[in-house]
Amino acid sequence: MDLPILLVVIIVLALIFDYINGFHDAANSIATIVSTKVLSPFQAVIWAAVWNFAAFFLAAYVIGEFKIGNTIAKSVNENFINLEVIFAGLIAAIAWNLLTWWFGIPSSSSHTLIGGFLGAALMYALVSDYHAVALAQPDLGFFEKIKLSIHQLFTQKVVKYDKVIPIFLFIFLAPIIGMIISVLITLLIVNIAKRTNPRKADHIFRKLQLVSSALFSLGHGTNDAQKVMGIIGAAVIYYHVSMLGDPVYTSMDGAHQFTYFVEHYYWVPFTSFLMIALGTMSGGWKIVKTMGTRITKVTPLEGVSAETAGAITLFLTEHFGIPVSTTHTITGAIIGVGLTKRISAVRWGITVSLLWAWILTIPISAIVAGITYLLVIMVK
């Protein structure tokens, strides 16, 4: 089957984004284990990458489905998706990811991708509405046409809010859940181990941190690789439904379309997990420094607590098919272990800066994607 050039470009860009996501988010998996000196940075990224890829087998053969990928693929109304929309969303996501990586800001690759997808789809709808208004009322001025187009846009269901609202809510809920679980685990461990010899306890928790970081890397791979699967899935499903009119796809509802896509393009999930693992192996030391030392100082005991809390949060959200930010999750967990010492142990200035980066990620990605979509259709 010969695929359209733009679809091939989208698949390549999505896998590049997946790779960038890996080295951008490597810090999430290795920050605490590096800052506690349990592993060197090189050892840590290899360890995290192995478990990132192992997440493929967990999702495919233990969980048996890819819920998060389906959520991403179906976050936008199918009537407002085309290959140009997906292309523009990916360009915006890659640009924002590279920018935040360069400045060492641990922003969310997940929300970057979602923001880009939504922004490009909304611009596609706005442009379509503008052409419809211009055709129906050619005598109106430019700004009157824009005003009517925007009004028309708000009457359309471009975004599937049942999918997107939980994603927005978990910008704040994921770190809070991670923080609460982290506090509880830390207090539990401290009470259990309070009579243990400090040197012996430190040795035990250094070993346990290998387990907790592996669990978090499993959660990271399971969560983040599926987002790229979702974007590629949206593009391939559009190709089969709108360009080929494939009766197999057109006879199914959205959820079954994605399941069928996974079954017949099985190399997509495999490659998505592989690319994020390779990206993780490339590391991201600038962000490791922010996550591992600048939020709060972390001991091996606290590293175990933070990583275990982060892993539990990621597995819970994956169970419900809610894409969350691994960055937000582990940040909340690290703050949680800091709070068990004292409130001042958390460097709140750094935390507030991170919060602003999180809040701005989706709107900035959406704006960049919208502008990119305009440029693409102008060139086309």
- Residue 185 three-state SS: helix
Q: Which amino acid is at 176?
A: I
pLDDT at 289 over 70: no
Least confident of 20-34, 51-65, 89-103, 335-349: 335-349
Residue 275 is encoded by which pair of tokens? 């690319």
Please report the pLDDT score of residue 293 as a whole number.
45
Tell me how far apart the alpha carbons of residues 223 and 67 are, in angstroms, rounded to a whole number.
Answer: 9
User: Taking the complete model, does pTM exceed 0.75, yes or no?
Assistant: yes
H-run or E-run covering 376: helix 348-379
For 217-268, the pLDDT digits (tens) are 999 899 889 989 999 999 999 999 999 999 999 888 877 899 899 999 999 9
pLDDT at 349 over 80: no
For the segment 186-206, the average pLDDT, to the nearest whole number, is 83
- The full DSSP string for 115-170 is HHHHHHHHHHHHHHHHHHHHHH-TTS-HHHHHHHHHHHHHTS--B-HHHHHHHHHH
For the segment 279-292, the average pLDDT, to the nearest whole number, is 59
Residue 357 is encoded by which pair of tokens? 């980066």
Tell me how far apart the alpha carbons of residues 277 and 225 are, in angstroms, rounded to a whole number.
Answer: 9
For 122-131, the pLDDT digits (tens) are 999 999 998 8
At a CB cut-off of 8 Å and minimum separation 6, what does 132 contact? Answer: 149, 152
Tell me how far apart the alpha carbons of residues 205 and 226 are, in angstroms, rounded to a whole number.
Answer: 31
Tell me how far apart the alpha carbons of residues 6 and 16 are, in angstroms, rounded to a whole number.
Answer: 15
Residue 7 is encoded by which pair of tokens? 């679809």
Burial 279-293 (b: 16+ CB within 10 A, else e): bbbebbeebbebbbb
Residue 356 is encoded by which pair of tokens? 């602003």
Q: Which of 74, 77, 242 is nearest to 153 (CA)?
A: 77
24 CB-side CA count, 13 A: 29
C-alpha distances (whole Å) from 241 to each of 85, 204, 252, 274, 316 are: 16, 55, 10, 28, 33
281 CB-side CA count, 13 A: 11
Neighbour tally for 335: CB within 10 Å: 24
Residue 203 is encoded by which pair of tokens? 């040795």
- The full DSSP string for 297-318 is ---HHHHHHHHHHHHHHHHHHH
Q: Please give the radius of gyration of the chain, using alpha carbons only, rounded to the nearest integer.
A: 22
Residue 379 is encoded by which pair of tokens? 């060139």
Q: Which amino acid is at 244?
A: L
Please indicate whether residue 30 or residue 270 has the higher confidence score (pLDDT). Answer: 270
Neighbour tally for 263: CB within 10 Å: 8
- Token pair 């809610």: residue: 322
Tell me how far apart the alpha carbons of residues 72 and 205 are, in angstroms, rounded to a whole number.
Answer: 37
Please report the pLDDT score of residue 37 as a whole number.
77
